[in-house]
Amino acid sequence: MSVKIGNIDLGDFPLLLAPMEDVSDPPFRYVCKQSGVDMMYTEFISSEGLIRDAAKSRQKLDIFEYERPIGIQIFGSDISSMREATEIATLAGPDLIDINYGCPVKQVACKGAGSALLQDIDKMVKMTEAVVKATHLPVTVKTRLGWDDNTKNVDIVAERLQDIGIQALTIHGRTRSQMYKGEADWRMIRDIKRNPHIKIPIFGNGDIDSAQKALDWRREYEVDGIMIGRAAIGYPWIFREIAHYFKTGEKLAGPTLAERVLACRTHLDKSIAWKGPKVGIFEMRRHYANYFKGLPDFKPYRMLLVKEDNIEIIHSILDEVSDKYQHIHFENEVA
């Protein structure tokens, strides 16, 4: 049985790339798509920013044909603004609209957006209904278990949002108060999946960082698919490793040094092409350590890479990394 969101066929068990602020931009999405991710989302986009025509918000609407299926994720605290932002996002031509009811950071939640809506389910329902009515596209939601341990209410959220028209729900197995600390708890996600009233796909998110864990949790928690976020940063190969393990039961060898260097170069080139040389080079700096995690004594190279602003010199440093570490046997950190 294929998992479907509207008319979007995602196969029998989709692997999704989480929308991550300052990470899930088109350059990063490109390298993840090359590694076999089934569906992706933009970084979350402020509804107010879209309405004001803020350059940063507008740029996040950029999507490319090779990325499909892809969703645009929006967030906000004002229902009318979310309605208007939905209309703007729809015109950008994504395959679906996703609403962020999960972001825990202060500058979002303390303004009544993101996970803050878990404290006002009636408003969440009204906001979601406004979004559903404002677009012809499927609408999905990403949220958390609840605001804190005393108010875990995602079971109620799931039923009420399904009843007003959302077509899939992704649940991060932590409360807002946990932020990203502690272990994700997927038991409540399984309970929702087992609820006979729930007919939409339920995706689990949180702490999946290996092919083995993906298989174990797929079986234990009975979700329709898995969304991966932090584990894909600097390691987009996690998608192909999980897919291969599901298909064959065999662990795939981790990426070679050559594959790591190539992915890093590709990410850099796409970053420069999308953002321009200055910003593209600057924003790439956060990724170098992740691509080469596990290399012994890599810090001097990382320091060179994060200080350099000349494209040719950056590529020459990557050449030197290739030469220096060509005989290093890479342990597969992920699978």
Catalytic residues: 103
231 DSSP 8-state letter: G
Q: Are strands 8-9 and 4-5 parallel, antiparallel or unpaired?
A: antiparallel
Q: Is the peptide bond before 26 cis (omega within 30 degrees of 0)?
A: no
Helix (H, G, I), strand (E, B) or coil at 98: strand
Measured between alpha carbons, how far is 267 from 152 in angstroms, rounded to an integer?
Answer: 39
* Angle of CA points 127, 129, 132, to nearest 5°: 115
Give the pair of three-digit tokens for residue 252. 């795939």
Nearest to 17 by CA among 197, 180, 205, 224: 205
Measured between alpha carbons, how far is 162 from 187 in angstroms, rounded to an integer?
Answer: 20
* Angle of CA points 219, 35, 328, to nearest 5°: 100
Measured between alpha carbons, how far is 322 from 153 in angstroms, rounded to an integer?
Answer: 50
Measured between alpha carbons, how far is 303 from 324 in angstroms, rounded to an integer?
Answer: 16
Helix (H, G, I), strand (E, B) or coil at 95: coil
Q: With contact defined as beta carbons under 8 Å apart, do 172 and 206 qualify?
A: yes
Nearest to 171 by CA among 211, 120, 227, 125: 227
3-state secondary structure string across 249-266: CCCCCCCCHHHHHHHHHH
